[in-house]
């Protein structure tokens, strides 16, 4: 893999992904909103930036051209199919056979077998409801984006993040297929390591057609699980 595209490069997760990808020597094309280009100033001259809305199909078409892999931050902003529009454009225009890695949260379920705590269910319901009421976030559109990804014939991986925190890297997060599995109990990942998992997934074929739910490798639940095996 030589050239990759990062859609949503200027966000917190996006900037960590840019750094990990540079560390691996990839040539990077980043997409971010026009007003967010200054947030990528630290990387000036080292990456190509294409400014524009990530659900603008022409922007995505240009950005993913010639890329072996695409890392996409699915952001549930606004109520104009921002996530699903972005995901659809990436799938439509990525090179055939390109590795496509998408980010989202634990609330996305691939097969309905995830077991959620009452806290997470309440959070999604209350936050989702209020957000939709004020028209700034549309969680259901992230669900729609993932529904389309899961049924696509592309080489996708959907990385489902736990609660996030800032801090130094602790290493590659561990993962499981279902929320509710004991290894995930701690429900915390460093954002820098979420980004690491996304970038490592580009070259990990075992993750093709998986929707790993991740958790920090140094969290109590991950350590307890590993001590047992």
Ligand X SMILES: NC(=O)c1ccc[n+]([C@@H]2O[C@H](COP(=O)([O-])OP(=O)(O)OC[C@H]3O[C@@H](n4cnc5c(N)ncnc54)[C@H](OP(=O)(O)O)[C@@H]3O)[C@@H](O)[C@H]2O)c1
Q: How far is CA 220 from CA 116, 176, 177, 195, in A?
A: 19, 15, 19, 21
User: Alpha-carbon torsion 110, 112, 117, 123, what sign?
Assistant: positive
How far apart are the C-alpha atoms of 138 and 78, rounded to whole Å? 6
Q: Which is nearer to ligand X, 191 or 228 (CB)?
A: 191
Return the number of the residue (26 or 82) whose C-beta is nearest ligand X. 82
Burial degree of 99 (CB within 10 A; 0-12, 13-18, 19+): buried
Interface residues with ligand X (CB under 6 A)? 8, 10-14, 32-33, 36, 39, 73-75, 77-78, 82, 103-105, 161, 163-164, 191
Round to whole Å and give the CA distance between 83 and 75.
6
CB of 192 to ligand X, least distance (A): 11
**Minimum distance of ligand X from residue 120's CB (angstroms):** 11
Cβ nearer to ligand X, comparing 13 with 201: 13
* Rounded least distance, CB 229 to ligand X, Å: 26
Which residue, 74 or 174, has its beta carbon nearer to ligand X?
74
Residue number with CB closer to ligand X (38 or 96): 38
CA distance 158 to 184: 17
Work out how close the CB of 228 gets to ligand X at its nearest, in angstroms, rounded to a whole number: 26
Q: Dmax of the chain from CA atoms?
A: 50
Residue sitting closest to ligand X (CB): 11
Residues 216 and 190 sit within 8 Å (Cβ to Cβ): yes
Please tell me the distance from the alpha carbon of residue 200 to that of residue 20, in angstroms, as a whole number: 9
14 vs 225, which CB is nearer to ligand X?
A: 14
| Helix 82-93 with 139-150: angle, nearest 10 deg | 20
Q: Closest approach of Cβ 93 to ligand X, in Å?
A: 19
CB 214 within 8 A of CB 189: yes
Closer residue to ligand X in complex, CB, 11/173: 11
CB of 77 to ligand X, least distance (A): 4
Q: Smallest gap, in angstroms, from Cβ of residue 105 to ligand X? A: 4
């Amino acid at each position: 893999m030589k050239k990759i595209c990062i859609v949503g490069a200027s966000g917190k997760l996006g900037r960590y992904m840019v750094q990990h990808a540079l560390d691996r020597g990839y040539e990077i094309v980043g997409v971010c909103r026009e007003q967010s280009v200054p947030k990528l100033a630290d990387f000036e001259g080292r990456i190509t930036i294409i400014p524009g809305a990530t659900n603008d199909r022409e922007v995505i078409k240009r950005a993913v051209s010639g890329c072996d892999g695409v890392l996409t931050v699915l952001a549930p902003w606004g109520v104009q199919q921002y996530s699903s529009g972005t995901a659809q454009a990436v799938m439509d225009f990525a090179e055939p056979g390109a590795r496509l890695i998408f980010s989202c949260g634990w609330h996305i379920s691939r097969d309905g077998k995830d077991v959620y705590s009452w806290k997470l269910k309440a959070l999604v319901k209350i936050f989702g409801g209020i957000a939709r009421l004020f028209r700034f976030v549309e969680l259901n559109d992230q669900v729609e984006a993932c529904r389309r990804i899961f049924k696509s014939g592309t080489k996708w991986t959907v990385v489902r993040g736990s609660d996030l925190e800032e801090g130094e890297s602790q290493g590659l997060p561990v993962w499981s297929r279902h929320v509710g599995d004991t290894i995930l109990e701690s429900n915390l990942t460093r954002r820098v390591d979420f980004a690491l998992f996304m970038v490592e997934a580009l070259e990990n074929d075992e993750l093709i057609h998986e929707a790993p739910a991740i958790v920090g490798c140094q969290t109590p639940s991950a350590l307890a699980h590993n001590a047992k095996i």
